Every structure is written in C-alpha cells, then in structure tokens.
Structure 1
Amino acid sequence: MSAEDVERARTGDWSIVLIGREPVDRSWLPTDLTGKDVLCLASGGGQQGPILAAAGARVTVFDNSPRQLGQDRMVAVRDGLELRTVLGDMRDLSAFGDATFDVVFHPVSNLFVPDLAPVWRECFRVLRPGGTLLAGFLNPDAYLFDHEALDERGELVVVHKLPYSDVTQYSAEERAAKFGADAPLEYSHTLTGQIGGQLAAGFVVTGFAEAPHQSNASAQYMSNYFATLAVKPC
C-alpha cells in the first residue's frame, strides 16, 4: 500500500479488494466511514486496514500472523494513521465485547480453519445491530483439481472429493513434501457452511458477488471467488 494510495483515501478517493482483483462495491460499505468502528478480520498485510483508517474509520486489524500485522503497523506509522492491531484466531474474538463494531471486513481467509460456525457466531456477536459483514471465500470447486497439473501445465485434472481437507487428503509426510513443513492447513468448506452458516448465526444475506482468479486456468470455466454482504438485524 503506497503513501499515495493512503493520501487519496484521506480525500475520499479509495477502493479496497474483498475478492479477486476488482474493488469491492462501495455500496456494500457505509457512505461515510468517519467514526465507524471497523474490524478487518484475518485481514493483516497492510492493505485494507490502512485505507479504511485513512477514509476516517476507527480500524482494528485482527490476524493470527505477527508478520502480517507488522505490515499494517508499518503503514500506519509511515502515514500517520490511527490503527489498532490485535493478534488472535478468527474463531475467538473474546478480545472484543458484544456489539463493538459497525463493519466486519473478512477477505478470503477462512479456508485456514476447519469449522466456520465459530467464525460466523463471533462476527455476529461483535457487530452492532444493523452492522454489516463483508466476507470473501473460495469457490469450493477450486479444490477439485490437482494443483500441480493446474499450476504447471494449465490442465484441469479432477482428483479430490469435496469437501476437501489437507488433513484427510494427505498424510503428514505427504503434506510436508507437497506443501512444506510450515504450510497452513486448508479446508474447502461447503456453500452450506459459508452462506448457510451466516444465516444460522442470525445474519440476513443481502448481497452476493463473484470473481475469477486471474492467474488460474480454471477461471475460463468458473468463478474462483465468492463474496457475501450480510446484515445483523436491528
């Protein structure tokens, strides 16, 4: 995130990405962010949080990666932004009280947790009535394919059963050899878990969007990313 991007955001000229590469629809966010409490959930990396802070929001960036949170702090210090960073697991937002935030911005990241229900319950709890959840997630069908064939040769070879999990698909030894010893575990989830889980938590889904993965051969056949806008009823 450049200093120029931050400066433009201060004047109201800004955009942020939820899925893919296209900016999220601005109608999904409050018209005026000034004074709004925004939780960037599992959204470290110095991208969305600093822009929202420059646009006037009171931003908390919550992530389980100290390195990613460090990027947000670096941008905040560089550009004189007020921004809070909190280290933690997206399934446990006990660091925050009930009805703390007006917006939860949750880009593609819940593929790294095995159960989505705690994520949606916690999002619902920390939002104020009328607050909104913007969530991005992978199309589960992306996990059907052999990624070596896809990435190296552009071939769509179906090898995995859905819902996919690194834990059930590979042994620990196979995972270490294929992805590296420190690679995080991934889970495809289902649309029932992604969208139905939000509904079960109490949300009303009011918006939906799709986007391709620009560098993935499967993008010519399907959207690789989905996004939802959900509201906590008053």
Structure 2
Amino acid sequence: MTQLSEADVAARWNDNADQWAHDVRQGYDTYRDLFTLPAFLAFLPSISGLDVIDFGCGEASNTRRFAAMGARMTGIDLSEQMIRHARAIEEQQPLGIHYAIKSYSQNTGFEDASFDAVVSTMALMDGPDFPAAMREAFRLLRPGGFIAFSILHPLFHYSRVAMAEGGRREGDGAGGVALFRSNRFRREMALWRPTERR
C-alpha cells in the first residue's frame, strides 16, 4: 500500500470536496447514514455539555450531529475546501461550531487538556500517521476524557498483509464469511463478503 503525505491527502480531499459535500448533503452517503454513524452513536457516551474536537471533520455533517446532541464542537480537517463547506453551513445554520484547517497528526495548536472528548468518524485511516494522531488526541484530553473513533475495518488492509506474510485463508466463503489467519498478528479476523445482491 502506498503511503500518502499529509499534503497528498489534503490535495485529494480538496479536489473531491465539492462533490463529496453535495453527495453527503443530498443523502447519497447511505453507508454512513444507515451503518457507520448509527453504530458510532450507539457506543458514544453522552457528550452533552462537553467540549469535543472532531478529528477529520470533513464537510461537517457528523460534527453538526454531535453539536445537536449538546456538545460544544470544534472540527479540524486537513482539507481547506472541506473546511470551507463546513464554515458555509455553519454560517447558514449556526450551531456554535469552530472549524480550523489543521492536521490531527501534528500539534493542532490547541492548549493541552482543552477537550473532554476527541471523536473521529471514518477519518483516521486516511491520515499518514495514526500513532501521532493518538498522541495529539491524548495531549488534548482533559483528565477523565475519552477518545471515540471509527475506521474502516483493519481487515481491508490486513487480508493482503496476512496472505503476503505466510497467512492462509480458511473456508470457501460460503455465506460470505472467510477467515484469515496470520502468524505475524497472532489473531483471527472474519471477512464478510455478500454472496448475492439484493
């Protein structure tokens, strides 16, 4: 897998920002609407009255949902164009959200212990330095705070790595499930593939 720099990631999201914002706001991101966001909200503790930062806020649809739940929100993203969309909707329908063009993998410029929670929905896998993002999240958290994030399932990358490093696939995928085993990771992961379209 090719590792992208932050500048590359920002450039790609800048190029895609207008279409992305349009599609999300027109309800075309059904996977987010029906699966990832409901699952995230189901495990998210109450954020009402908390100072929360959203790492990789994009065009801000999820950030706005969190604000509507009573959180005092700050959203950061690498993409200037995504932040432009976020600020535009904030001007039209204010929720008191602050947005900044920042990388979650570097010092964001906020004071230590500035937030009660760090959230990120389906964004951290797009950054080039996950450990640095976790260090910055930890730096920003107040004592007793929490980090909640969702990412693509590691299996999307894991299966290729497992096979390349002596792993093996077990099962024929009947019912859409295959199991990958790897000696390197000493764990098992299930892969679900739909066997038919509905």
Confirm whether residue 33 of structure 1 aligns to residue 48 of structure 2: yes
> Does the 8 Å CA contact 1:97/1:126 hold for their aligned counterparts?
yes
In the alignment of these two chains, the number of paired residues is 140
Amino acid at match of 1:83: I
- CA shift, 1:21, in A, is 5.1
The verdict on how the C-alpha distance between 1:68 and 1:140 changes in structure 2, with shifts beyond 3 A counting, is: same
SS of the equivalent of 2:117 reads strand
Partner of 2:101: 87
| TM-score for the superposition, normalised by structure 2 | 0.59
Let me know the Cα RMSD of the aligned residues.
3.1
Contact 1:50 1:75 survives alignment (8 Å): no
Q: Give 5+ residue unaligned stretches, structure 2.
A: 1-23, 26-31, 165-190
AA aligned to 2:38 is E
Higher helix share: 2
5+ unaligned residues in a row in structure 1: which ranges?
Answer: 3-15, 146-159, 165-211, 213-217, 222-234
Q: Deviations over 1:108-141 (max 9, x none)?
A: 2222233321111111110111111111112222
SS at match of 1:82: coil
8 Å contact kept, 2:54–2:63: yes
What is the SS of the residue equivalent to 2:133?
A: helix
Residues 1-38 of structure 1 show CA distances to partners (whole Å, capped at 9, x for unaligned) of 77xxxxxxxxxxxxx97x725342445222x613x111
The match for 1:22 among 9, 23, 38 is: 38
Q: Give the equivalent residue in structure 1 for 2:129.
A: 115
* Closer/same/farther in 2, CA of residues 83 and 26 from structure 1, 3 Å limit: same
**Distance verdict in 2 for CA 1:163–1:57, change over 3 Å:** farther
Q: Is the 8 A contact 2:78 2:102 kept in 1?
A: yes
- Residue 99 of structure 2 aligns to a residue in which SS? strand
Per the TM alignment, residue 60 of structure 1 is displaced from its structure 2 partner at its CA by: 0.6
Residues 59-70 of structure 1: pairs in structure 2 closer than 5 A: 59-70=73-84
Match of 1:96 in 2: 110
| 1:52-72 deviation line (CA, Å, top 9, x unaligned) | 223332111000011211222
Give SS of 2:156's match: helix
Counterpart Cα distance in 2 of 1:37 and 1:23: 22
How far 1:98 moved relative to its partner? 0.8
CA distance in 2 between counterparts of 1:83 and 1:101 reads 14
**Structure 2 partner of 1:199:** none
Cα deviation, 1:163-203, whole Å, max 9, x if unaligned, reads 99xxxxxxxxxxxxxxxxxxxxxxxxxxxxxxxxxxxxxxx
Q: Distance in 2 between matches of 1:20 and 1:86?
A: 24
Whether 1:46 aligns to 2:60 is yes
Instruction: Describe how 1:205-216 pairs up with structure 2 within 5 A.
Output: none
Listed one character per residue, the Cα deviations across residues 194-230 of structure 1 (whole Å, up to 9, x for unaligned) are: xxxxxxxxxxxxxxxxxx9xxxxx5438xxxxxxxxx
Structure 2 CA distance for aligned equivalents of residues 90 and 163 of structure 1: 31
Verify: 1:58 aligned to 2:32, yes or no: no
2:161 partner amino acid = K
